[in-house]
């Protein structure tokens, strides 16, 4: 495929920004070398991004290796000095908000959180008022956009939630318009699992193929293959939590009966624990303490085995051998992830030929949101739009088709 020069320039900018997001710091010369660009081309891109406030230069601390001809070495990094975006994480009851710098730190850090009362869970108007108060607390101006991480089935191209089993009030609500009224900038809705998977990949760039499964208010997954999110024409993938479990009679927020997430979500685990404790109301801390003292109870082992069957089936279909677990299960004693990992390995075909890896990891939503902002707001890919406009002209076909 042949691209227009402007498209090639965008590709070079995006490649440079991705490189810096993975390495943190780099010199002009090393960027040109690793990206295979000429130094004039790389230098021009760097100067443009510095002028736009996307990059910043920093001096290395004094040291022999950092000095060249008596001058401190100057390195490039994504701007960490000021937030360029607003990041929002919308949950079942709690919403978290923070200013987001391009050179985001790890782990995620939220500045303001607010909750909706049970009788307000279906009220977009209440959420908007709470969000406005959060915006006033954060302050700042001249943001480039807002990145809204949301659960459920999300049509990111249309910027809307199609179905949200655990946050039904968001269905049919124009969240982008609500947020846009507060910050008056571009708003992107991002499926939360995709942000988590991209964030993990940036922290571990050598892991190009894995299934990330996040445990929390619901259970969701996202697939990275070849270093990129698995592409699909439909806005649905990774809905592993809605795999039915034989014999499970619990009703799920999606309307079905027996979904796996009703057993291993936060609410599902606490419900099972409370039942095992003869109906006594139990907290998450109570469950952590119980497992630390007594080991994994039988009801939890059965629930973990059910989750492992769904995960192993996904690995077998996708041909993957690495699973990344984030969220609430990672807050329980290590024996829980070890049990889950062994059960996944028992059901995975790859284990018959090699090893299957199951690791716990922190949630890295913010770096994932930054990666999406680079592709869609800082250096958006307009090639599809160009192709759509030009492809009907016969004389242009050779420029866009193989």
Strands annotated E in 129-209 = 145-150, 153-155, 160-163, 187-191
Residue 129 has what pLDDT?
A: 93
For domain 5-81, the CATH architecture is Orthogonal Bundle (1.10)
Fold: same for 5-81 and 204-360: no
pLDDT in tens, 281-316: 999 999 999 999 999 999 999 999 999 999 999 999
Residue 402 has what pLDDT?
A: 33
Q: What is the mean pLDDT of the chain?
A: 87
Residue 95 has what pLDDT?
A: 96
Burial class of residue 40, CB neighbours in 10 A (0-12, 13-18, 19+): exposed
Task: Give the number of other Cβ atoms within 10 Å of residue 151's Cβ.
Answer: 23
**Domain locations along the chain:** 5-81, 85-192+366-377, 204-360
Q: How many helices (H) and strands (E) does the chain have?
A: 14, 16
What token pair was written down for 310? 């769904």
In whole angstroms, how large is the CA radius of gyration of the chain? Answer: 23
Pick the CATH number of 204-360 from 3.40.50.300, 1.10.260.30, 3.40.50.2300, 3.30.420.40: 3.30.420.40
For domain 85-192+366-377, the CATH architecture is 2-Layer Sandwich (3.30)
154 φ/ψ angles, rounded to the nearest 5 degrees: -120, 125
Residue 52 has what pLDDT?
A: 87
Residues 6+ apart with CB under 8 A from 384: none
Residue numbers of the chain with a pLDDT score lower than 50 = 1-5, 63-68, 70, 383-402
pTM (2 d.p.)? 0.87
Could you tell me what percentage of the chain is helix, strand and coil, using 3-state DSSP and rounding each to the nearest 5? 45, 20, 35
Residue 83 CA: distances (Å) to CA of 61, 86, 102, 199, 332: 24, 8, 7, 18, 33
Residue 56 has what pLDDT?
A: 92
């Amino acid at each position: 495929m042949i691209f227009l020069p402007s498209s090639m320039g965008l590709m070079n900018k995006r490649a440079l920004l991705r490189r810096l997001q993975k390495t943190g710091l780099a010199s002009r010369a090393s960027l040109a070398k690793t990206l295979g660009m000429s130094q004039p081309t790389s230098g021009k891109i760097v100067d443009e991004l510095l002028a736009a406030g996307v990059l910043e230069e920093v001096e290395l601390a004094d040291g022999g290796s950092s000095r060249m001809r008596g001058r401190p070495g100057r390195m490039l990094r994504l701007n960490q000095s000021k937030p360029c975006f607003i990041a929002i994480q919308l949950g079942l009851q709690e919403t978290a908000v923070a200013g987001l710098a391009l050179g985001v730190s790890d782990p995620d850090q939220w500045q303001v959180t607010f909750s909706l009362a049970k009788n307000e869970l279906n009220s977009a108007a209440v959420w908007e008022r709470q969000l406005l108060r959060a915006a006033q607390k954060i302050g700042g101006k001249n943001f480039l956009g807002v990145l809204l991480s949301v659960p459920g089935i999300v049509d990111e191209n249309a910027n809307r939630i199609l179905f949200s089993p655990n946050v039904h009030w968001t269905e049919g609500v124009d969240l982008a318009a609500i947020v846009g009224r507060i910050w008056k900038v571009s708003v992107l809705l991002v499926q939360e699992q995709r942000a988590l998977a991209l964030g993990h990949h940036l922290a571990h760039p050598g892991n190009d193929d894995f299934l990330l499964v996040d445990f929390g208010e619901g259970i969701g997954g996202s697939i990275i293959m070849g270093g990129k999110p698995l592409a699909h024409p439909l806005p649905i993938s990774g809905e592993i939590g809605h795999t039915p479990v034989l014999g499970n009679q619990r009703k799920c927020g999606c309307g079905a009966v027996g979904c796996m997430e009703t057993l291993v979500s936060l609410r599902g685990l606490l419900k099972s624990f409370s039942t095992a404790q003869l109906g006594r109301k139990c907290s998450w801390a109570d469950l952590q303490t119980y497992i630390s003292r007594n080991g994994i109870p039988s009801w939890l082992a059965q629930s973990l085995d059910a989750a492992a069957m769904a995960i192993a089936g996904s690995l077998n279909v996708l041909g993957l051998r690495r699973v990344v677990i984030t969220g609430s299960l990672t807050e329980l004693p290590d024996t829980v992830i070890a049990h889950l990992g062994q059960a996944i390995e028992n059901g995975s075909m790859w284990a018959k030929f090699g090893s299957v890896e199951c690791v716990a990891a922190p949630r890295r939503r913010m770096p994932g949101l930054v990666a999406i902002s680079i592709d869609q707001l800082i250096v958006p890919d307009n090639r599809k739009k160009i192709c759509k406009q030009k492809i009907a002209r016969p004389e242009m076909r050779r420029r866009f088709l193989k």
